[in-house]
């Protein structure tokens, strides 16, 4: 019985439906009169599907990230490749498109593996 309780205390690994990473959009940012957090999420999601492919990233709204830009929205990208770990501020739908294009450029090549040199 002790083993059973130990299993409940450990996090269980699961499979995700996205491959490359997660894009977080702060839902508490004010945004601008042309772009609010919900619209930013929709544009980022649409562009990610178009540029990176279906199920490559998930775009979710999150609580405050403590960036709090004036007249902008805080957006964070976290990726499996490590090159996506960044927080930016978005002021327009065009900036959302540009941000996804930057993520696509930093995306690791398919099948690329890291080599470790033996010391």
**pLDDT reported for residue 116:** 39
**pLDDT reported for residue 118:** 46
Express each pLDDT in 11-45 by its tens digit. Answer: 877 776 677 789 999 999 988 888 999 999 999 99
**pLDDT reported for residue 46:** 94
**pLDDT reported for residue 19:** 76
**pLDDT reported for residue 59:** 92
- This prediction's pTM: 0.76
Helix axis angle for 37-52 and 93-106, nearest 10°, is 40
Name the fold adopted by 21-106: Glutaredoxin (3.40.30)
pLDDT at 111 over 70: no
CB burial of 63-102 (b: ≥16 within 10 Å; e: otherwise) equals: eebeeeeeebbbbbbebeeeebeeebbbbbbebbbebbee
- How is the chain split into domains, by residue range? 21-106
pLDDT band per the 50, 70, 90 thresholds, residue 84:
confident
Express each pLDDT in 56-82 by its tens digit. Answer: 888 999 999 998 899 999 999 987 666
């Amino acid at each position: 019985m002790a083993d059973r309780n130990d299993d409940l205390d450990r996090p269980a690994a699961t499979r995700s439906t996205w491959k490359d990473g997660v894009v977080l959009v702060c839902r508490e940012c004010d945004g601008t009169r042309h772009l609010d957090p919900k619209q930013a999420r929709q544009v980022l999601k649409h562009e990610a599907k178009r540029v990176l492919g279906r199920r490559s990233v998930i775009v979710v709204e999150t609580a405050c990230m403590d960036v709090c830009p004036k007249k902008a929205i805080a957006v964070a990208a976290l990726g499996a490749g490590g090159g996506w770990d960044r927080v930016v501020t978005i002021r327009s739908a065009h900036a959302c498109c540009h941000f996804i294009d930057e993520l696509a450029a930093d995306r690791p090549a398919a099948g690329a593996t890291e080599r470790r040199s033996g010391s």
